[in-house]
Structure 1
Amino acid sequence: MLLPLMTVLIASAWPAAASTTTAAAQPAAACQRRCGDVDIPYPFGIGRGCYLYTGEGDVTFGLTCNRTADGSYRPFCWEYEVLDVSLRRGQARVRNDINRWCYNATTRSMDAESTWWWDVSDSWFHVSDEGNRLVVVGCNSLAYVTSVNETEYMTGCMATCPSVGRLENGSCSGMGCCEAAIPRGINSYVVGFEEKFNTTSGAVGRCSYAVVVEAASFEFRTTYVTTGDFVESTGGKVPLVLDWVVGKETCREARRNATGYMCVSRDSECVDSRNGPGYLCNCSAGFEGNPYLLDGCQDINECEDSRFKYPCSVPGTCINTPGGFRCSCPDKTTGNAYFGTCEAKKSQLGVHIAIGVSIGIALLVIIISSAYMIQQKRRLATVKRRYFNQHGGLLLFEEMKSNQGLSFTVFTKDELEEATNKFDEQNVLGKGGNGTVYRGTLKDGRVVAIKRCKLINERQKKEFGKEMLILSQINHRNIVKLHGCCLEVEVPMLVYEFIPNGTLYQLIHGGRHGSRISFAARLRIAHEAAEALAYLHSWASPPIIHGDVKSPNMLIDENYTVKVSDFGASTLAPTDEAQFVTLVQGTCGYLDPEYMQTCKLTDKSDVYSFGVVLLELLTCRKALNLQALEEEKNLSSHFLLAMSENRLEGILDSQIQSEQSIELIEQMADLAKQCLDMSSEKRPSMRQVAEELDRLRKLAEHPWGRHESEELKKLLVRGSPSTFSEIELSNGYVSLTDSAYLGIQSPR
């Protein structure tokens, strides 16, 4: 019977409110604005015409002033006593019933009623989630707050008390008392006890209590558990904070309705409610009062208001202004009245002279600085022009004019600085003995890789522009495209297409994936790389020698196709003895022994280096491993020794042995052995190597071979190329950033 009765009473307390305010009407001047010791500011009021009318029968803001049992007068909103109203916070505090569930010694059971409803869903109130908490007091008491339909939200806590001695005044963290936050935006709830948890014996306390209460006003006492003091000391009611709004629209929507907009005071502002839909009004900064009344917001006189500390550091200097103040030194004085002092003015002649001298010096500094900057700019332009001509820029421009279809760009230094954010370290993709590679974004949105080389020899300086033009005409699906170069610097910079998916080195050695690449996939990679080098050697005009073939220079693009890179720093095939290099270039572990002895770079030098790459694919071992045994440090030497002693299977990757016939693997190993022949004349050409690898690929085909590309995609490293751009020397292997990796600095 009690539950239906409470539902009817609470539901009738809040008649349906209108969806919008019809007009921002003003209350009568004679309205009662105080009841007992509680101020009642508009939009609240007592009697029709004195409060904000929101609809027929709605008493959201309509209060009554009732005489209570003790003879005092107190305001009520229906049956709820109003403790106070705050305009700035948009809150009203009311008294809320404490819900208790007690042990009946006669029936030796708990009371039947264990659930209570509270509903203001038809009003313009919401229960404040910031100001209130669910508090549960008792022993072995589990209570909760949930939505009326028990589907939207539920929150609760459990209070226990193993012994009375463990209870502590002021502590509500689980021993005899617990608390839980409530959700935002609710205007109805159900408070209930879980019947499986109850004070069945009444040994410590006979009753359990649950109530949504203002957090700041509640302080736990141990007597709340051991006696009925919680109800007796509070009269069975505790403060509850309600958030209210004066309209259910947002501020933007409310401003469109000029007649219904509630922020009518000139110095007021609209504030959207944070607890459910709607808005309320506040006086602007520096003003106080009632923003819902015409001229209700009045200026605060900070200079005279005793509530504030005098705002100026010098007495008698504060001048009140609308919404603020200023501190001004009196006449014939000067200084800082805000934080300093005011002193009598002295003769201004010295000040004027000082100001004049200061201005003169400043102008002189500006003139000298401007002249210096102009001179430096001219000097920089001269240096850029000298470098440009030195690197064959004029010849390059002439060639570009004669070949209009050429997609090659000569970039300025400023363009590349802008593309890389002035070569910021965060854009570094990799560092090596030849230089540093940066990621850059051109003005047209293209992402490119920009290489700043360290060295260049005299021959390359003279022929650089012409050689870049030749290299730019290379168009092969397995070779990185050279977009252009910059000639305005001492050592030219190269601009390549950006390849996002890492290198062959990363694929083989960068993680646990290396040993899981199928033999067919390895053959495909080797064949594509061989085709690229064969193109450079046999079909480019003039032929191009790569000079630094290695797995880190073989990239994987977004389509998971191998692309040979770093050829832009290569050389055209030498035609005479004058073109012999004076400084050996390349990477230890990949260098052609004959090239190191003769300093003559040939296409067969690339063949030797490619043979080392084949060994990496066959063995999953690095070209140079400084931590290995002496005979195993150099991969090519270790391989040739194993071949001579007929123990090839001992160094092969175990995976490929289990998935492919040893005869086919031995043929690929024999091809690598031919590439590694000490005599360059006995090595096959790259064209022959590519043809042999193509033949081996056809022999290796099997029913699932068509899925090879998808398998490769899964195995590829998907991170930025910079992920493995530097390999620490601490693991005993060679670092891309360490000069030992290159052996000798490159002349490029």
Structure 2
Amino acid sequence: MVALNFHGALLILQVGLLVLLITTHSILSSSSSSAAAAALQGCFDRCGDVEIPYPFGMSENCSLNANFTIKCSNSTPIYGENIGVTNISTDRHEMTIMWNVAHDCYNESGGLVSWNVHWLDIPSLSISSSKNKFGVIGCDSYAYLHGIHKENNFSMGCMSICEDKDDVPDDGSCSGIGCCQVDIPKGLKYATILPYSSKNHTGVIKFNPCSYAFVVKRTKFNFSRNFLGNFSETEMPVVVDWAIDNEAETREASSEKYIKCGRENTILEFTPDRQQYNCKCKEGYRGNAYLPAGCQTGAAIGVIVLFFRVPWLYLVLKKRKLIQLKEKFFRQNGGLLLRQKLSGDRDQYNSNEAAKIFTEEELLNATLKYDDTRIIGQGGFGTVYKGILPDNRIVAIKKSKLMDRNEIKQFINEVVVLSQINHRNVVKLLGCCLETQVPSLVYEFVPNGTLSDHIHDKEKSCKLVWEIRLRIAAETAEVLSYLHSAASTPIIHRDVKPSNILVDNYTAKVSDFGASRLVPQDQIELATMVQGTH
């Protein structure tokens, strides 16, 4: 018997899977699309990264009714007037929303600066009692949570008092000193948050000018006493329960919308007051119980899931291989050594001056995947791109062409030393990326081009008067003297030329240390060749 190789076995497996899908097609043809789908047929089921399952929908024809219509604005689901949605579950009948933080703020004289309240007046929603807490932050603060509970008006409160910031625990606890939190009753609807202060914060204004009140998912809030001075969060995640109003059943059962539950294998469950209901799949079935034929057996769903997960598995394996390749390049390019050196230098240098290790993804995003429109320079050592970091800093990213594997240790030492140089006439090295075959370097961005550009451009050269030229020459000489004699580790540039001198408002900035060499501190002489291109 001839043993099958891996590819032969894989081929047989693929053929077997195809046969299985074909033989089950006639049985599942009417249900496969329903089981895999989340929305009604012909309707979009995603807004950004959030799945929008029926009875919710993004238009009147795709949702059960107006209470379940979600707007998709800039890939963000919006419910009601302005409530952001991050998750919807038809199994648990829950939705995670972003609800505003209410506040009450004063100035040093006790005058009201700002005060706002927030309410949740959507009839199909109630606040989950098991998933949320009602909380208040402040040292002269209290707040009320009003709403409807069991068809009656309901109010509850929470008070937080303290006289000194040092009296407030900083262990994450929220027990009434600087922060308080209380449980919420089950089924609370039409909720409103009202924040207040007893004495307008006059006794604590120096460290706590505001009261903050909010409902928040239990697992998404940890108190810090720094919140007393400035609680920057304007929204908090809240889990709400949703249900369908029983009175909404006015459409015919033959309509494309199914007001109750799917046609088969579903159970209708009423709320205790029988004013609303939810749909569930019967035991042994899974899926979206609100869709026609949305509940399927585990075996049927298993085949469908397997069919749709084959390409997903391929993407996962491809991504894992890419991660392994990045890790390989990171090690080859001295990433572990650089990380060790940066960790060891934290005490010696200001952490803001230490080089940052950028990921490949960060630089791809910064340069629009190294788009040609972002190229700002090219030379013998590589191409320079303009990049924009997430904090809106503009940087210059040098993508090198070559790397001598025998000089990895020297390269890492240079990155560490050059990142510590903070001289007005030296282009600052911000960090590097080691996840590619050849490392990339990230520098501060100097927008006005090189000295070479100014010399050889007729219009620019006219402005480059003798006095400016002499100053640029003097500044360049001063930098070289500093690098040779004053730097903690002497550096020899080895490629000083007009194209490696940037001009920032006619101030010289020496750049491109790709050919530079460090001089060991115990070495008083060094012979080196001139490097670079001309």
TM-score between both structures, scaled by the size of structure 2: 0.44
Q: Which is higher, the Rg of structure 1 or of structure 2?
A: 1
Structure having the larger proportion of residues in strand:
2
Structure having the larger proportion of residues in helix:
1
Higher RCO (Cα < 8 Å, 6 or more apart): 2
TM-score between both structures, scaled by the size of structure 1: 0.32
